[in-house]
Amino acid sequence: MLRGIDPVLSPDLSHALRAMGHGDKAGIRYFDTAPHYGRVLSAGTQQAEADGFIDPLPNDARYDYSGEGIRAFFAQSCERLGRGEIDIVFVHDLGVYTHGVKGASHRKDFLDSGYYAQCELKREGRVKAIGLGVNEAQICLDVMDHGALDVIFLAGRLTLLDRSADEVLAPRCIAKWTSSVLGGIFNSGILATGTTPGATYDYAPASKAVMTQVDSLGAKARSCNMSLPKAAIQFAQTHPAAASVLMGMANPSSLRRNLDLAQRPVPSDFSKVFQ
C-alpha cells in the first residue's frame, strides 16, 4: 500500500529510506517508482527547485509512447533499478490531462506500437503485468477498447471527493478482471487537511465549490466519529474495484499515521453515509 516517496516533501533521502524500511517491516511489499519521480537528487545542502522537485537531476522529461520508446525506457528503468525484470510496468500520463492537445498524437503512438511493446515484454517474461498510470478515466477506456490491461493505476478519480471513474471505468475493470490501484486518494491534499487556508485540489488552490463539498464530507465523517482522512482511506480500501491503495509518504511518521488510520475499525453505517 506504499506508493513511494514524494520528493517535494522529502528532500532528505534518509527520510525516504527510513520510510521504505518501516514499510517493509509493516509488511508492505508493493513499492511504486518512476523515472519522473527520480529527477530528485537530495545530496548537498544547496537546494534548487524545478517541476515541483527539490534538487532535480539535470534531465528533461521526454514523452515517447511508441514501441521503440517503451522498450528504451524499460531498459533504462531496469538499469537504474538493478533488475532484469519488473513486476508491473505502467505507461504513465497518457492522455489529455497531462498533454492537452498533444494527447491525441501520444495516444496514437501508444495504440499503434507502444501497447504491443508492453505485451511483448510480458510474453518475454520481462514483466508480470502491464497497465496505465494516469489521472483520467477516459484514456483507460480508450485503451481497453483496443486491448486488455492487467492493471490501472488511477490517481484522484476514484476518491471520496472525485468519483468520476465510478460510473463507467470501475464497473468495466471489475467485469474485465482489470485490477485497479487507487492513488491520489486525498486529491493532492484537501482530503487530508480539510478546508484549511491554502488547501489544494488537483495540485491547485481548491475552488469555493470544492471547499463546500469537502466541508460536507467532513461533517459526514464527524457523524461517523471519524476524521476526514480516515474516511478517504476507508472509501478507497473498501471500493469493490480496488486491488490496492497507494499513498505517497515522505517519512516514517507519515507512514505510521496512515497505517494507523487504515487499520482503525470502521462504523457499520459508513457505506450508507458516504453512498
HSE of 77 in the Cβ direction (CA atoms, 13 Å)? 21
Check residue 35 and give its pLDDT.
72
CB-neighbour burial class of residue 98 (10 A; exposed 0-12, middle 13-18, buried 19+): middle
Q: How confident is the model at residue 7 (pLDDT cuts 50, 70, 90)?
A: very low
pLDDT 10s digits, 54-104: 555 666 678 999 999 999 999 988 998 899 999 999 999 999 999 999 999
Q: What is the pTM of this model?
A: 0.88
- Extended beta strands in 37-195, E state: 49-50, 53-54, 86-92, 127-134, 151-155, 179-183
Pull the grid cell for residue 51: 517541476
Check residue 40 and give its pLDDT.
40
Q: Which of the listed ranges 26-40, 41-55, 105-119, 251-265 does the model predict with the highest average pLDDT? A: 105-119
Would you say domain 1-32+150-275 falls under CATH 3.20.20.100?
yes
Q: Residue 177 pLDDT > 80, yes or no? A: yes
Work out the average pLDDT over 223-229.
94
By three-state DSSP, how is residue 15 classified?
helix
Alpha carbons 115 and 26: distance in angstroms, whole number: 35
Non-local (6+) Cβ contacts of 202 within 8 A are: 156, 187, 188
Non-local (6+) Cβ contacts of 59 within 8 A are: 39
